[in-house]
Structure 1
């Protein structure tokens, strides 16, 4: 969860006074790192996942499920029992934005051998069991992307009313400050985003129009001072706080590459995969107690941290700000980093010209210089008094201050100063799934894809503007079955090959619209004769040429079958399954409203599925991972 410095947080006005200092020294810190490690090669291929969890309390008598604000206490207990006793403990726990959230990762990164894929699910199960063991009765650890009644009255326990006053962090009509993690970074981020923007954040999500949904659907808010009335759109669910985005859960994977050039190559290739995997993992159809017309959280988070002023959003002439900025800080990437990707950079890139010129004068190439100069058009959002003056040669807090608050689909991560960690890329668009089996399947699929990209020198690149269009399609309801996505037709040819396993080759040719076409997720994942070979068949071909023990091969095949059948529509995404659960609930009035009892029944069912207490064949298939428990080598489905 980004940079977690300790100290005395500064107000937005104080932070703003130091913004140029942070940017200047952030660039100096990046240059120190770059000079020290730019020539590093042959780092070991390592990777790891991050799973975010919600802590839920069930009241079976009243049929209520509420978010339990005990994250800090649970985190402290887990750390005291784990990493603080044993540095080699198999799990690590970290704070997250919500005081009802925690994040779990493996204790050590996974390595490059195929057998590592067979340990992912065991580690995820260990995390779930470990955290559950410190919870009280009727409390549970849930991997739900968006809690359906987040922001509804009484959605937390203890119940905390919202505080829509200026003195609070969020000033929200719905989301109480008590639901924000107590670490000063989180409340300071919340307050400073609002203060920098000059108003509360605005999130409008289209309502799903069911048979009895009012048309037009228009809400009024009794405690509104007028700001909500100005911001809300007809036929949309309105939200007004960072917590509605950052209070959701996700699944992320970070890879260590063998060199900076390989990291840049992977960054570009995986950027094109982000919308595809996001649609495949769709798990967030409900917001503030309503059924909405989107399936993914991405746009909600993007709006929830959008600190751009009216000038920067193009709503007023530039006067007090330097730039028009097209996107929120949380969005898809804006430029490819590899030389092979340069010709596909067709998005206008706003950069800090002074920073760009400084980087180029220090020997940074054009593509990397413009990437950093683009990130650094943003202001620092949090700053601690004790962290203003740093040793630029040995610390990177100012660089990370800007870097870690540019939340994009992919993140290019330089090594920390004076560490043995290599150049890394982080894959960020996935929604968290209900079960450890599903989360393992998505992680293994993406990691295997990186291996195939590097081994077969694949080229997925298309114009970046088309990737942005794919991101919009991916969030729509049932995009996995209904959406059409731009994708490269011939991924085996083109100039973006890997040279000696450590970087992209040059290619100066023009882009060609014939290089890509609109395809369904089914075609992209499973292939279609005469159109596209399919990613799963390519992965299977790769596996056939690898030495893989029988048990690991069985696990991988089970995972790939889940992805295959989600892509074909034979199995549901979590979002579609949740929609059908609500639609068939006896208390649902087809008015797009999720009541307390409906929410309770849904979250309890999600918990039972995650605990393997009930089967859910429409989501997971039949006997999806029994082989894991019986020792047999049967098919997963």
Structure 2
């Protein structure tokens, strides 16, 4: 969730008064880091994953499942039993936005050897088992992206009612502030986004129109004029940060060998983000309704959109400096490597003074405009104790802005005075039900980075086309129905892609000739005469590597899952959930998910995650059925 400072949080008005101070010193902190480590090379290739979990409680007697607001207590227990007792403990636990959420990572980053791939799933299993061991009876940790009845009456345990009047953090009609993590960063973020925006956030998700869904589908909010104005016909309306940041995801961070390699990986993986997002689609339900989207990305983007009406282009600029085209949670806006420059076809709003300052300090144009674009944003949280810092040895002001620009990729400079290198974070994936699936997606992306670097691959297309792909990726059944712009010849970069693109085409040539629309099946599995396919390329790489038998079998099992999800032989989690609800005996084809249906779905998800039942339509034969006791709940209790 980014920077977690401790101290006394400031109100939005107080934070606003210090915004220029934070930006000015944030840039100074970045410059200190850059000049200290810009020439650093040969850092070891390291990487690690982040899995977010929801805590749920099953009421088997009444056929209900609720989110348990015990995240802080669970986290404290896990940290006390783990890293505080043993600094080398194999898992780390961190807070997340929801007080029903926790985040788990490996205790140490994975290294560059192939055998590391065979330890990912075991570590994820350990995390699930550890977290489960500190829960109460009939409780479970679930890796579901969105809780289907989030925001419905009584969705939390203990139950709290929303507080839409002034004084609350979100003023939501649906999401109680008690469901927000108690760390002051989270409620302050929520309140300050609303105050900066000048109104509540607005999330409108298209409803899935089933046979008995009202037509038109219209929600009415007679007690709330703001909601009445904001809600749209044929859409599910939501009004709080928790509807986005209260979802779970799966992320991977890579340490590169140098800054140039990090910038190259950042660009190449940015084009892969919408593809993997569609492949990992797992969130079709919102606020008790069946939606017409399969991914959370647009929901979370709207949930933290702090832009004013002026910045959104709805009113003339008067009190603000910029028109800003996107929420601060969105796809990237510029490539960072030299080979990406000619594909930067999105108008980039930048702070010109910061841009000129960075150029004068020796930062190149591409990196300078990237940072100057991030810094058009205001800080959203500030702690009184963290206003005046040592810019040469601290980076809180830089991270304040950096960590609240939540984009598909994040370019991460090393922390000051550390042995950590230049990193990039891959952020679009939806979390999956099982440790096997989550491991498969992580291994696929990490292996892809190894192949990109080894074969000097070039996936770059105009960034505007990546944005179009992002929109397609979130649609229902995008993995089967969507067509995505993708580069046709990914080997044109020659042998020096990282240092400047080798034989890349002259920028005067028509970029349109370099890419075409492809299905995800073609991109992942290949199609003769069109594209070789990412899985065949990965398989070719594996054949040329020395890999022990167990590791090779594990990797091939993971790639088999990705391959079959792409072809449609196996369902995405989103499609499987839709089918489950559609076939539920209580479902009335009206797009409504009742408590009983939600209970059945989450119970089934938990049984699948703990290998208490099989699910061949979701996992196929690739799933290794090694049973373990990782659940404290069963419907027979």
Q: For the residues of structure 1 that align with 2:264 and 2:20, how far apart are their CA atoms?
A: 31
Counting only pairs closer than 5 Å after superposition, residues 238-253 of structure 1 correspond to structure 2 as 238-253=237-252
Write out the 4+ residue segments of structure 1 that deviate beyond 6 Å after TM superposition: none
Please give the alpha-carbon distance, in whole angstroms, between the structure 2 residues aligned to 1:351 and 1:198.
Answer: 23
2:634 corresponds to which residue?
none
Between the aligned partners of 2:223 and 2:437, the Cα distance in structure 1 is 41
Aligned to 2:328: 329
Q: SS at 1:215's partner residue?
A: coil
Structure 1 residues 456 and 623: alpha-carbon distance in aligned structure 2, compared to 1, 3 A threshold: closer
**1:38-77: CA deviation from partner (whole Å, max 9, x where unpaired):** 0000000000000000000000000000000000000000
User: Offset at 1:496?
Assistant: 8.5
The 8 Å contact of residues 3 and 403 in structure 2, kept in 1 or not, is answered as: yes
Structure 2 residue 379 is matched with structure 1 residue 380 = yes
Q: Is 1:163–2:167 an aligned residue pair? A: no
* Separation (CA, whole Å) in 1 of partners of 2:234 and 2:259: 47
Distance 1:457 1:320, change over 3 A: same
Q: Which residue of 2 aligns with 1:73?
A: 73
Counting only pairs closer than 5 Å after superposition, residues 605-624 of structure 1 correspond to structure 2 as 605-622=604-621, 624=623
2:93 aligned counterpart, secondary structure: strand
Distance 1:494 1:515 in 2: 12
2:22 alignment counterpart: 22
Name the CA distance, whole Å, in 2 between partners of 1:628 and 1:581: 23
* Residue in 1 that maps onto 2:507: 509
For residues 228 and 327 of structure 2, what CA distance do their matches in structure 1 show? 22
Partner of 2:474: 475
Q: Following the alignment from structure 1 to structure 2, what is the Cα–Cα distance between the partners of residues 221 and 78? A: 42
Asked if 1:12 corresponds to 2:16, the answer is: no
**Structure 1 residue 623: deviation in Å?**
5.8
Q: How far is 1:549 from its partner?
A: 0.2
Contact 1:571 1:620 in 2 (8 A): yes
Q: Could you tell me how far 1:495 is from its partner in structure 2?
A: 6.2
Does structure 1 conserve the Cα–Cα contact (< 8 Å) formed by 2:339 and 2:500? no
CA distance in 2 between partners of 1:436 and 1:503 (Å):
39
CA contact (8 A) 2:611 2:625 kept: no
**Closer, same or farther in 2 for the Cα pair 1:233/1:190, shift >3 Å?**
same
* Structure 2 residue matching 1:205: 3-state secondary structure: strand
SS in 2 for 1:221: coil
Q: Would you say the 8 A contact 1:265–1:503 is kept in 2?
A: no
**In structure 1, C-alpha distance between the alignment counterparts of 2:209 and 2:3, rounded to whole Å:** 41
Q: CA RMSD in A?
A: 1.2
Contact 1:340 1:496 in 2 (8 A): no
Q: What count of residue pairs does the alignment treat as equivalent?
A: 626
> What corresponds to 2:214 in structure 1?
214
- Secondary structure at the aligned position of 1:605 is classed as helix
Deviation at 1:223, TM superposition (A): 3.7
Partner of 2:343: 344
CA distance, structure 2, for counterparts of residue 167 and residue 131 of structure 1: 34
How far off its partner does 1:524 sit?
A: 0.1
Q: Give CA deviations for 1:307-363 in whole Å, capped at 9, x if unaligned.
A: 000000000000000000000000000000000000000000000000000000000
C-alpha distance in 2 between matches for 1:617 and 1:628: 16
Residue of structure 2 equivalent to 1:540 = 539
Q: Give CA-to-partner distance per residue, 1:502-530, whole Å, 9 cap, x none.
A: 67558552352010000000000000000
2 CA distance for matches of 1:546 and 1:496?
20
Matches of 2:284 and 2:370, distance apart in 1: 33
2:60 counterpart residue number: 60
Match of 1:195 in 2: 195
C-alpha contact 1:339 1:505 (8 A) present in aligned 2: no
The Cα of 1:220 is off from its aligned counterpart by 1.4
| CA-to-aligned-CA distance 1:204-245 (integer Å, 9 cap, x gap) | 000000000000001112542x00000000000000000000
What's the counterpart of residue 42 of structure 2?
A: 42
Partner residue of 2:597?
598
Q: Match for residue 411 of structure 1? A: 410
Equivalent residue of 2:445, what SS? helix
Contact conserved, 1:173 with 1:223, CA < 8 A, in 2?
no
**Residue by residue, what CA displacement relative to the aligned partner does 1:142-179 show, whole Å, maximum 9, x if unpaired?**
00000000000000000000000110000000000000
How many angstroms apart in 2 are the aligned matches of 1:601 and 1:435? Answer: 17
Distance in 2, matches of 1:448 and 1:512, equals: 28
How do residues 139-538 of structure 1 correspond to structure 2 at under 5 angstroms? 139-224=139-224, 226-494=225-493, 497-499=496-498, 504-505=501-502, 507=504, 508-510=506-508, 511-538=510-537
Mark the CA change 1:282 to 1:61 in structure 2 (over 3 Å): closer, same or farther.
same
Shift of 1:498: 3.0
Q: How much has 1:494 moved relative to structure 2?
A: 3.3
CA change 1:406–1:480 in 2 (3 A) is same
**SS in structure 1 at match of 2:550:** helix
Contact residue 57 and residue 65 of structure 1 kept, 8 A: yes
Q: CA deviation at 1:497?
A: 3.8
Asked if the contact 1:260/1:423 (under 8 Å) is kept, the reply is: yes
Distance in 2 (CA, whole Å) between partners of 1:623 and 1:234 is 43
Q: Is the alpha carbon distance of 1:312 and 1:416 closer, same or farther for their aligned partners in structure 2, counting shifts above 3 Å?
A: same
- Secondary structure of the 1:429 match is strand
Distance 1:364 1:496 in 2: 25
Q: CA 1:496 to 1:368, structure 2 compared with 1: closer, same or farther past 3 Å?
A: farther
* In structure 1, C-alpha distance between the alignment counterparts of 2:416 and 2:581, rounded to whole Å: 50
For the residue of structure 2 that corresponds to 1:230, the secondary structure is helix
1:457 and 1:492 in contact (8 A); partners too: yes
In structure 2, the partner of 1:106 is 106
Identify the residue that residue 123 of structure 1 maps to in structure 2: 123
> Do the aligned partners of 1:555 and 1:628 also contact (CA within 8 Å) in 2?
no
User: Aligned partners of 1:218, 1:161: CA distance in 2, in Å?
Assistant: 23
Return 5+ residue gaps in structure 1 as ranges: 630-637
Q: For structure 2, which runs of at least 5 residues remain unmatched after alignment?
A: 629-637
Q: Distance in 2 between matches of 1:96 and 1:155?
A: 18
SS state at 1:277 partner: helix
**8 A Cα contact 1:459 1:496, kept in partner:** no
- The 2-side partners of 1:503 and 1:29 are apart by 28
Distance 1:576 1:242 in 2: 26
Q: Find the aligned partners of 1:326 and 1:28 in 2 and give their Cα distance.
A: 27
Which residue in 2 is equivalent to 1:580? Answer: 579
Provide the rounded CA distance (Å) in 1 between the counterparts of 2:390 and 2:495: 38
What's the CA shift for 1:622? 2.8
CA distance in 2, matches of 1:622, 1:265: 36
SS across alignment from 1:201: coil
- Superposition TM-score, scaled by structure 1 size: 0.97
- Work out whether residues 261 and 338 of structure 1, in 8 Å CA contact, stay in contact via their aligned partners in 2: yes
SS at match of 1:428: strand
Note closer, same or farther for the CA distance 1:436–1:195 as it changes in structure 2 (3 Å cut): same
Q: Secondary structure at the match of 2:461?
A: coil
CA 1:90–1:615: 2 relative to 1, 3 Å: same
